[in-house]
Amino acid sequence: MPSVQGSRGFLMHRREEEDPLGIKFGNIKKIINGKNMLELKDQDEIEISMACGSDLMSDVLAFIKKNSLLFTGLTNPQVIRTAEVADIAAICFVRGKKPDLETIKLARQKGIPLISTDLPMYESCGRLYEKGLPGCSEYKAR
């Protein structure tokens, strides 16, 4: 299995069949045991370039990049509004949190898929990092 070195010197392993530019959303759901909260057409084919975990939407706006997956414990409509402004590809609610109907309705209007995982934020991000998906400090637009 080939290895690539991240910006902090950690070795990340990447399987040969993985796309070097990201991971498909459908594969991400499997890695983190994600459950659909809002399923949109062709969402599993969305290419995720990086992941970010935060409950501070001001940090999300400052650091996250286009085509990313946001991990958060916040379930209010402000998360969807932030995702729209930041051009976030999808949102995952951690620790088994589930959004209310207003949040789901807004996500549907904006075309942002929503999933939930029972994993905590640290472990969710770690599983994807282990698979070679960069975080916001490492990602460079290609």
Distance CA 142, CA 139 (A): 9
CA 31, 34, 36, 39 dihedral sign is negative
Q: What is the pLDDT tens value at each position of the chain, 142 positions in all?
A: 444 444 444 444 444 344 445 799 999 999 999 999 998 999 999 999 999 999 999 999 998 889 999 999 999 999 999 999 999 999 999 999 999 999 999 999 999 999 999 999 999 999 999 999 998 876 554 4
pTM of the model: 0.82
Rounded to 5 degrees, what angle do the CA atoms 23, 96, 38 make? 60
Torsions phi, psi for 96 (to 5 deg): 75, 10
Question: Domain residues of the chain, as ranges?
Answer: 21-130
Look up the CATH superfamily of 21-130.
HprK N-terminal domain-like (3.40.1390.20)
Instruction: State the maximum Cα–Cα separation within the chain, in Å, rounded to a whole number.
Output: 44
